[in-house]
């Protein structure tokens, strides 16, 4: 015997039968649902980049990323240049010391 | 975005501008005074050497008259050394500075005496071996 049931009728029957379940079965179902939800949350990504892309390329593809990359390169250049300047300054101080020392330059030159 | 690109470009310009060595005519009067013994060869010196000499010239105004004289007297010889010779001299100087003061003074005294002797002998026309040659 095939009875035609619409979705509304099915929902009504399910609600009716749920009301007939005893407390133990209901709490077991609640526990199983909580357990399933916990497992699902573990599978969800813990950390995600703001781009939301699955794969990340090294080449920036947005204006914001280009700005960040540009600033990084600029900072690198300025940093290297500053370090070089400090090195040169130390070297020049040493040269002045040699050029003005009590001892003649010949003592240090081969 | 555009302003950031301009800022990066300006920074790069600044970095490259700070690393350019100038010709003798473009030097400031203070730089010319400090580097006066090199007036003839300045424009022929390698850029790297000119930059380094310009760095040393920054200290010139703070030197005592005696040290200014020494700086001028030694500048030409220093500029004629090869980069390797200058580097070796720096290494020797650094090593010498690490020697205990007492021993350093002894060496200084010895060198001064040798120099005085040499000057005296040169004045009287007797050829002599220098301290460096004996080393």
- Tens of pLDDT, residue by residue over A69-107, are 999 999 999 999 999 889 888 999 999 999 999 999 999
**Quick one: A40 and A67 in the same domain?**
no
**Quick one: A35 and A65 in the same domain?**
no
Residue B27 gets which letter from DSSP? S
Chain A contact for B15 (CB, 8 A cutoff)? yes
- CB distance A109–B89 less than 8 Å? yes
| Least confident window among A15-19, A93-97, B114-118, B129-133 | B129-133
- CB distance A93–B59 less than 8 Å? yes
**Quick one: B81 and B33 in the same domain?**
yes
Domain containing A91: what range? 60-110
**Which residues on chain B are in Cβ contact (under 8 Å) with A106?**
130-132
B22 or A78: which leads in pLDDT: A78
The pLDDT of residue A77: 96
pLDDT at B102 over 60: yes
List residues in chain A touching B: CB distance below 8 A.
63, 66-67, 70-71, 73-74, 77-78, 81, 85, 88-89, 91-110
Domain containing B60: what range? 2-98
**Quick one: A33 and A78 in the same domain?**
no
B117 or B127: which leads in pLDDT: B117
pLDDT at B1 over 60: no
**Quick one: A38 and A1 in the same domain?**
yes
**Quick one: A73 and A104 in the same domain?**
yes
Q: How many angstroms away from the CA of A98 is the closest CA of chain B?
A: 7
**For residues A49 and A101, what is the distance between their CA atoms, to the nearest angstrom?**
60
Q: Quick check: B14 and A81 in contact, CB under 8 A? A: no
Element (H or E) spanning A54, and its range?
Answer: none
CA-nearest residue to B91 within chain A is: A108
Question: pLDDT class for B120, splitting at 50, 70, 90?
Answer: confident
pLDDT at A47 over 90: no
Number of domains chain B is built from: 2
**Quick one: A68 and A29 in the same domain?**
no
The pLDDT of residue A23: 85
- Indicate which of B93, B96, B115, B130 best probes the interface with A, i.e. most A CBs within 10 Å of its own CB: B93
Number of domains chain A is built from: 2
Identity of the residue in A74, A92, A106 whose CB atom sits nearest the CB atom of B52:
A92
Mean pLDDT over residues A30-43, rounded? 81
**Quick one: A34 and A78 in the same domain?**
no
The pLDDT of residue B62: 95
**For residues A109 and B88, what is the distance between their CA atoms, to the nearest angstrom?**
7
Closest CA to B30 of B85, B83, B76, B68: B68
pLDDT at B17 over 50: no
Q: What is the ipTM of this complex?
A: 0.75
């Amino acid at each position: 015997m095939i009875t035609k049931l619409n979705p509304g009728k099915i929902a009504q029957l399910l609600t009716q039968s749920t009301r007939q379940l005893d407390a133990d079965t209901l709490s077991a179902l609640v526990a199983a649902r909580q357990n399933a939800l916990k497992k699902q949350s573990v599978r969800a990504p813990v950390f995600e980049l703001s781009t939301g892309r699955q794969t990340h390329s090294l080449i920036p593809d947005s204006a914001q990323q280009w700005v960040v990359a540009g600033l990084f390169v600029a900072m690198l250049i300025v940093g290297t240049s500053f370090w070089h300047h400090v090195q040169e300054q130390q070297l020049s101080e040493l040269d002045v010391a040699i050029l003005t020392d009590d001892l003649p330059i010949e003592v240090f030159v081969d | 975005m555009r302003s950031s690109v301009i800022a990066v470009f300006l920074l790069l310009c600044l970095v490259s501008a700070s690393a350019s060595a100038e010709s003798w005519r473009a030097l400031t009067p203070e730089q010319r005074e400090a580097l006066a013994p090199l007036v003839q060869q300045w424009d022929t010196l390698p850029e790297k050497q000119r930059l380094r000499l310009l760095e040393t010239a920054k200290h010139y105004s703070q030197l005592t008259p005696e040290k200014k004289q020494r700086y001028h007297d030694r500048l030409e010889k220093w500029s004629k050394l090869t980069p390797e010779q200058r580097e070796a001299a720096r290494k020797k100087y650094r090593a010498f500075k690490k020697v205990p003061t007492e021993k350093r003074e002894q060496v200084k005294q010895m060198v001064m005496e040798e120099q005085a002797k040499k000057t005296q002998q040169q004045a009287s026309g007797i050829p002599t071996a220098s301290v460096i040659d004996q080393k």
